[in-house]
Structure 1
Amino acid sequence: MKDFMFIFRGPSYEELQLSPEEVQANMQEWYNWVNQLSAKQVYVGGEPLLPGGKVLQGSKTVVTDGPFAEGKELVGGYFIVKAESLEAATEMAKGFPDFDRNGSVEVREIMKME
């Protein structure tokens, strides 16, 4: 089995103006998905990311506040999962609970450094 990273993008709960009850219901969807992946023994780990941060770039290493993505889309978190192939990992990613909230998942294989 290979390791894959799911990178989650989308608007924040504040931008979506979700009520506390909607946030709780959404979090339950996430817990259910993690439990499903865990039951199949393919979930390695993952965490949400706080919205603030810093971006470093350029040969003179300019540091700016960020990260800033196009529009209102930001990287909100990640999972590491085990799968036989990119296609199998992509199939797993279809359980992402925020597709209907304008979210997206990038699926990437993790390169092993020997």
Structure 2
Amino acid sequence: MEEYLILMRLDILTKEAQPSPEQLQIYMQQYQEWVNSIVEKKKFKSGTALSTEGRVIQSDHLITDGPYVETKESLAGFIIIIANDFDDAANIAKDCPILMGPGNSVEVRKIVGIHLED
């Protein structure tokens, strides 16, 4: 079993793309049910939502407001799961309720360590 990161992206800028408070409650319930199903399979490791504001530091050390000033798509949050392989991780990720929104996406990345523990 290996660890995989599921990154959830959605449009946080377009007014028409934002859910009503009632829709948001429904979406959060669907998200909790999805995460709970991963927990029940003992494949959930951790995760969290992210704020809509941030800072981007470029290679020339220029710091700008972010996360993505030029695009509507933003990283909304992530979870870390335990899966057998990419196919297993993708099958878990494909049920993410964020995918019900037009233009939203989910990315699956295998976590590979580069830091050695002491």
Q: Distance in 2 between matches of 1:93 and 1:52?
A: 25
Corresponding residue number in structure 2 for 1:74: 74
How many percent of aligned residue pairs carry the same amino acid?
34
Residue 17 and residue 10 in structure 1: after superposition, are their counterparts in 2 closer, same or farther (change >3 A)?
closer
Corresponding residue number in structure 2 for 1:107: 108
Q: CA RMSD in A?
A: 1.7
Corresponding residue number in structure 2 for 1:11: 11
TM-score by length of 2: 0.88
TM-score by length of 1: 0.91
Residue by residue over 1:1-50, the C-alpha shift from the partner in whole angstroms, topping out at 9 and shown as x without a partner, is 10000011011397323221111000000000011000000011100100
Residue 83 and residue 77 in structure 1: after superposition, are their counterparts in 2 closer, same or farther (change >3 A)?
same
Question: How far did 1:65 drift?
Answer: 0.7
Q: How does 1:15-30 map onto structure 2 within 5 Å?
A: 15=15, 16-30=17-31
Q: Which runs of 4+ in 1 moved over 4 A?
A: none
| 3-state SS in 2 of match to 1:51 | coil
Number of residues of Structure 1 aligned to a counterpart in Structure 2: 113
